């Protein structure tokens, strides 16, 4: 069984219902995962990407704030036409510290840099990497206006926002093509955003679906991963859950559980 693909709202893009998050191939500082890890070498990254492709995954999620993730993907990804590349704008990460710039100038600079790093002529999706002040970014910066211009010029196919507040998510669903929100059995605050986005026909991506590796048996003694997958996919309108891993076995296991969840839904 091939991993199911779903429409990314009205963008004309189809994404695998699980996407691969790539922060762990580029950054090991100031991350919120429960266990320490080392960045994989190029051979390991190529094997991970090959496994993802073999499993039917086509969505790759990266960002300038993910250290050297973009540059490594640009060097190691093959067959550009297979992949839906999602990157971000707004957040920079240097010397262990994040900074933010949502100006039009920096937005365009960031996109052009990502195109070079990822070795591609276009990005399928660009998300605003929020600092938590979602409404202020939407209402008082020219970031979204610049992204609209970049879409019109063909450098990006679609744009949206990775939000951190329910209010920001609701407004982003109105103003953009795609919203990335947090959703899991512990954090349900953004379910109204998913519902609103579904009504508007917008793409919905899920982050922290497995609580960034913090799932425990107290969440569900039998299978906390499967429980979260069942909960998220029960929400109408979800396009894909982005799961960050550098462990091939975990990726294979998550895809297998996703297939079984969707078969039984």
Contact by Cβ (8 Å): 152, 182: no
Summarised one tens digit per residue, pLDDT across range 137-148 is: 999 999 999 999
What H or E segment, with its residue span, contains residue 263? helix 248-264
Low-confidence winner among 29-33, 46-50, 52-56, 183-187 (lowest mean pLDDT): 29-33
Q: Tell me what the pLDDT averaged over the chain comes to.
A: 95
Confidence of residue 222 (pLDDT cuts 50, 70, 90): confident
Q: Where are the beta strands (DSSP E) in 130-175?
A: 156-162
Kindly tell me if the per-residue pLDDT of 215 is higher than 70.
no
Can you give the pLDDT at residue 175?
98
Q: How far is Cα 223 from Cα 62, in angstroms, rounded to an integer?
A: 28
Can you give the pLDDT at residue 265?
79
Structural domain range at position 95: 5-264
Average confidence (pLDDT) over 216-238: 85
Q: How far is Cα 242 from Cα 117, in angstroms, rounded to an integer?
A: 21
Summarised one tens digit per residue, pLDDT across range 116-128 is: 999 999 999 999 9
Q: How far is Cα 122 from Cα 47, in angstroms, rounded to an integer?
A: 25
DSSP three-state, residue 171: helix
Average confidence (pLDDT) over 97-118: 98
DSSP string, 190-238: THHHHHHHHHHT-EEEEESTTGGGT--TTT-SS-HHHHHHHHHHTSTT-
Q: Where are the beta strands (DSSP E) in 62-154?
A: 84-89, 91-94, 97-100, 123-129
Can you give the pLDDT at residue 31?
86
Read off the CATH number of the domain in which 177 is found: 3.20.20.100
Kindly tell me if the per-residue pLDDT of 77 is higher than 90.
yes
Q: Please compute, for residue 193, the number of CA atoms within 13 A of its CA located in the half-sphere on the CB side.
A: 29
Q: Give me the number of domains the chain comprises.
A: 1
- Percentage of the chain lying above the pLDDT 90 cut: 88
Q: How far is Cα 65 from Cα 62, in angstroms, rounded to an integer?
A: 8
Average confidence (pLDDT) over 226-253: 96
């Amino acid at each position: 069984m091939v991993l199911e693909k779903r429409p990314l709202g009205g963008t004309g893009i189809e994404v695998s219902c699980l996407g691969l998050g790539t922060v762990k191939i580029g950054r090991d500082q100031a991350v919120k995962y429960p266990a320490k890890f080392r960045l994989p070498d190029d051979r390991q990254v190529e094997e991970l990407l090959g496994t993802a492709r073999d499993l039917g995954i086509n969505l790759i999620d990266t960002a300038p704030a993910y250290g050297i993730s973009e540059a490594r993907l640009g060097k190691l990804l093959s067959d550009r036409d297979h992949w839906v590349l999602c990157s971000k704008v707004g957040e920079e990460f240097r010397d262990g510290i994040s900074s933010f710039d949502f100006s039009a100038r920096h937005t365009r600079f960031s996109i052009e840099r990502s195109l070079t790093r990822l070795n591609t002529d276009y990005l399928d999706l660009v998300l605003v990497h929020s600092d938590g002040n979602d409404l202020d970014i939407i209402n008082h910066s020219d970031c979204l206006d610049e992204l609209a211009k970049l879409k019109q010029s063909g450098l990006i196919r679609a744009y949206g926002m990775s939000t951190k507040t329910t209010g920001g998510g609701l407004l982003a669903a109105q103003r953009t093509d795609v919203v990335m929100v947090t959703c899991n059995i512990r954090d349900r605050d953004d379910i109204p955003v998913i519902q609103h986005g579904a009504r508007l026909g917008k793409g919905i991506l899920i982050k922290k679906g497995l609580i960034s590796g913090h799932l425990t048996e107290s969440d569900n003694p039998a299978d906390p991963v499967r429980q979260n997958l069942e909960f998220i996919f029960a929400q109408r309108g979800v396009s894909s859950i982005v799961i960050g891993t550098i462990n091939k076995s975990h990726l294979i296991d998550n895809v297998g559980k996703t297939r079984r969840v969707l078969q039984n839904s």
